[in-house]
Amino acid sequence: MNRTVSFLWREGKGVVLALALVLVVRTVAAEPYAVPTPSMVPTLMVGDKLVATKYAYGYSRYSVPIGEIPMTGRVLDHTPERGDVIVFRLPRDTSETYVKRVIGLPGDRVQMKKGRLYINGEMAARRPAGALDTVVLGRPVTLHRYIETLPGGRDHDILEMSDDDALDNTPEFTVPQGQYFMMGDNRDDSLDSRVAAVAGGVGMVPAENLVGRVDMVLYSHAPDAPLWSPASWGEIIKRLRLFTQIT
């Protein structure tokens, strides 16, 4: 029996050590994620494979890729900056992972009025950046593209179908200490902190739910373009987005 165990260890220890190394890297350094919905278009596309940098904000119970660490709070904690794109665990169901942009920091007052973003009573500047033709619920739609400037001068692209959609007019939200207000860049197609958790939305996101900062898209694969079909390779190459930096 001892010989059998010794043989299995000799043959399998390389695999065990390799798996342990992967687990450590994905816990401490970075972990890949796939984007399943269009809520962050045009910054992130459906099918993007992105990297979340774990050490950007420190570590919490949700930092491991499998299960949870039995701890509370964060260690080596670093505060996110307004405008960061973040992977986080959904507060009402921590088995789900979301990716959104940080709009409100602790203590901020956030509101949407007629499609415009207000932070602490000041309207965020935006300027037109063209249009995007797409299909929504089977019908062609033209979305308006803008470059929005957050307090502090950070720019990012957003999309609006109109300035009078369901979440374009909201009450003013005050972000509690230790929590963050998240929004998608595709403003009229994003379930985010504008909808309370009790209503099936995201609500405020506690600091310990933050998993990592999105710095890069590794590549992108159109979900409807199978890799094994040569006819789809042109679409796959067009969507590669190799090593695209995220701002």
| Tens-digit pLDDT profile for residues 149-180 | 999 999 999 999 999 999 999 999 999 999 99
pLDDT at 77: 78
pLDDT at 15: 39
Question: How many domains, in total, are found in the chain?
Answer: 1
- Asked if residue 133 belongs to a domain, the reply is no
AA letter at 19: L
Residues of the chain with pLDDT under 50: 1, 5, 7-30
**Cα dist. 235→12, 37, 77, 202, 228 in Å?**
40, 19, 41, 33, 13
Question: For position 208, which CATH number holds?
Answer: 2.10.109.10
pTM given for the model = 0.82
State CA 87 to chain mean position distance.
4
Beta strand 116-119 pairing with 210-220: unpaired
pLDDT at 186: 95
- Neighbouring-strand partners of residue 186: 159
Residues carrying an active site annotation: 39, 100
- Asked if residue 129 belongs to a domain, the reply is no
- Asked if residue 238 belongs to a domain, the reply is yes
Report the percentage of the chain scoring pLDDT > 70: 77
- Asked if residue 140 belongs to a domain, the reply is no
pLDDT at 246: 87
- Asked if residue 33 belongs to a domain, the reply is yes
Query: Using an 8 Å Cβ cutoff, are 41 and 136 in contact?
Result: no
Distance between CA atoms of residues 93 and 69, nearest Å:
16
Helix (H, G, I), strand (E, B) or coil at 180: strand
- Asked if residue 192 belongs to a domain, the reply is yes
- Asked if residue 136 belongs to a domain, the reply is no
Q: Which domain holds residue 40?
A: 2-120+161-245
pLDDT at 31: 66
